[in-house]
Amino acid sequence: MRKSLAEFRGEKFFRKLLHKSVYSLDGQLFGKISKLILRKRDKKPEIIYVKTPDNRIIKISPESLFIKDGHIYVSKFFFEDEIASLAREIIENAKRLRLIRLRGIELDSKYIRGEISEEKYLAEKKALEERRKRLVGVLLELFAKAVGIYEIKPVGDFGLLYEIVRSETGVTISLDDFLTVISGK
């Protein structure tokens, strides 16, 4: 019989679950329960934290964990929620990147029209470029997390190409292609 952890209550029961292994549906170790937050009034779980083998702490709703045959498993709904959350983050950061690009175009126009000095133009352009690079790094990390890529490395000096390494195979993707993929345009 399969029961969601949301169906259980009691501090004594949940103390026993601390440091217990959590498995994916295919039986692979997903992590170990590292912390539980119980509601005071009914002692039902509110949030469960799982420490993965690579030492990440993941917050999981009790509805996404279940017990079957004495083992704890993470349900497929958790992974669907995680991917949806990553997709939202990627889209938000892609929008921020687009705003930086628009701000750069606006800055170019002001400089061409003589509305700002060269010194101010160069300083603001440099600041925009630094923000752009940081944001691209964040986007690449989110993208890698979403598709299970192991490593992303810049290729060349301009940050326009990235080598995406998955397992033993590698793929090179341009920054424009990457942004097109994540923004869905």
**Do residue 94 and residue 48 come from a single domain?**
no
Domain end among 10, 40, 74: 74
For residue 67, give every residue at least 6 positions away whose Cβ sits within 8 Å of its Cβ, in sequence order, or none.
2, 3, 5, 73
Does the structure show a pLDDT above 90 at 110? Answer: yes
CATH number of the domain encompassing residue 177 = 1.10.287
**Do residue 98 and residue 117 come from a single domain?**
yes
Q: Of 94 and 106, which is predicted with more confidence?
A: 106
What is the pLDDT at residue 167?
A: 41
- Quick: pLDDT tens for 1-35: 788 888 898 889 998 999 999 998 888 898 999 99
How many domains are there within the chain? 2
Q: Of 127 and 84, which is predicted with more confidence?
A: 127
Cβ atoms < 10 Å from Cβ of 59: 10
What is the pLDDT at residue 174?
A: 54
Domain end among 74, 106, 123: 74
Cβ atoms < 10 Å from Cβ of 123: 12
Mean pLDDT for all residues in the chain:
79
Residue 179 domain boundaries: 78-183
